[in-house]
Amino acid sequence: MEIFDVAIVGGGPAGSSCAAFCALAGLRALVLEREKFPREKVCGDCLNPSCWSVLEHLGVAQQVRALPHSKLESVEFIGIDGHQVIVDLPNGEQCEISVKRCLFDDVLLKRACDVGAQIREETTVTSLANNGNWKIETATGESFSAQVLVGADGRNSTVARLCNLLPHPTRERVALQAHVPLPQNFGRRIVLQFLPQGYSGQAPVNDAELNLCLVGTPPTISELRQWAQRHFQIAPDQSWRTITPLTRSPVPCGHENVLFVGDAARVVEPFTGEGIYYALRSGELAAAAISKIVRGEDRHSVLRAFTDACAEMYRGRLWINRLARAAVLWPRVGSMFVRAAQIQPTILKLLTAKVVSREL
């Protein structure tokens, strides 16, 4: 049986980024992905401007710009009482865009394939064993062998669960997402709207469709769906994608010979729209570490450096996540913040600038 240098479980942005960078470094990389691409995914579909640097390194920035998308010019915060504050987003080549995940993720996975990674779709990892190398078994009874394993399989990571590292799930909130017809004159804005039962995120993804996300608790989510049906005149039989949990303790990203990237390592608050950036960048950092491990550098110091690089990636930003989480867990408090920002918008502008810029 062929022994791969690295097997990556999950072909989302984290897994594809890791696989492409590993293949570009000359490693034999394998991606095992449960779904058949292109596939949709519960997400607000917004690409934080920080993504562009990783997309450039991957050589796909122009391809992403060529996909149907919307250039987002502003973010509009709406309180429960209807008060609004609009904050401008950066413009130019490195602006925030929204693009459907079925298109974006497909470009990334194809890039990994084009630069030499082996991709196995419709392949669900179900069991793992380690006796020097990893033996990875799938639902279809196939097995694969690899020196290093990467968990890039999202917030409910099977790899973390099979390694007894997955934190106990908290089912405190649930998200619903759908693409619905774009209301006339919606404009090129992201709307973040507090509602008594939770919040809604809205962004146009092309000239015809709106990405609509609803975040609530299990008891309130159906009320939120009814609000959306009224507000956007959505047919009652509209299908919604769903995901939970929205908050989860992190999994330490570097272990003996398994690394975690993207949501599998750390789930961030969707309200800030940064998850895809962390997925892409942690994939890049993991690939650099794996390259060193495979070439025989001291594993412990490589993993320590990888863990430090991941911590650096989040440094100075997690407090914004905590703030955003507080605002969405208590929407009335979030609404008070919007009201205060009407009088004094500086703080909200600075917070938004911090989220959409790596420089601050």
Binding site for ligand FAD (CB under 6 A): 9-15, 32-35, 41-46, 48, 124-125, 152-154, 158, 175, 177, 213, 215, 243, 246, 262-264, 270, 273-277, 279
C-beta of 79 vs 283, nearer to ligand FAD:
283
C-beta of 60 vs 246, nearer to ligand FAD:
246
Quick check: helix, strand or coil at residue 54? helix
- Euclidean distance between the first and final Cα of the chain, in Å? 49
Residue 280 Cβ vs ligand FAD, minimum distance, rounded to whole Å: 8
Structure tokens given for 248: 């989860």
Residue 253 Cβ vs ligand FAD, minimum distance, rounded to whole Å: 12
Residue 15 Cβ vs ligand FAD, minimum distance, rounded to whole Å: 6
Residue 310 Cβ vs ligand FAD, minimum distance, rounded to whole Å: 13
Residue 343 Cβ vs ligand FAD, minimum distance, rounded to whole Å: 28
C-beta of 78 vs 128, nearer to ligand FAD:
128
Cβ(215)–Cβ(223) below 8 Å: no
Range list of H helices, the chain: 13-24, 51-58, 61-65, 101-114, 158-162, 221-231, 275-294, 299-314, 318-329, 331-343, 346-356
C-beta of 18 vs 24, nearer to ligand FAD:
18
Residue 129 Cβ vs ligand FAD, minimum distance, rounded to whole Å: 15
Quick check: helix, strand or coil at residue 250? coil
C-beta of 307 vs 339, nearer to ligand FAD:
307
Residue 273 Cβ vs ligand FAD, minimum distance, rounded to whole Å: 4
C-beta of 133 vs 156, nearer to ligand FAD:
156
Structure tokens given for 120: 């196995």
C-beta of 339 vs 357, nearer to ligand FAD:
357
- DSSP one-letter code for 221: H
Backbone conformation region of residue 139, classed left if phi is above 0, alpha if psi is from -120 to 50, else beta: alpha
The secondary structure of 68-137 as a DSSP string is: S-EE--EEEEE-TTS-EEEEEPP-STT--EE--HHHHHHHHHHHHHHTT-EEE-S--EEEEEEESEEEEE
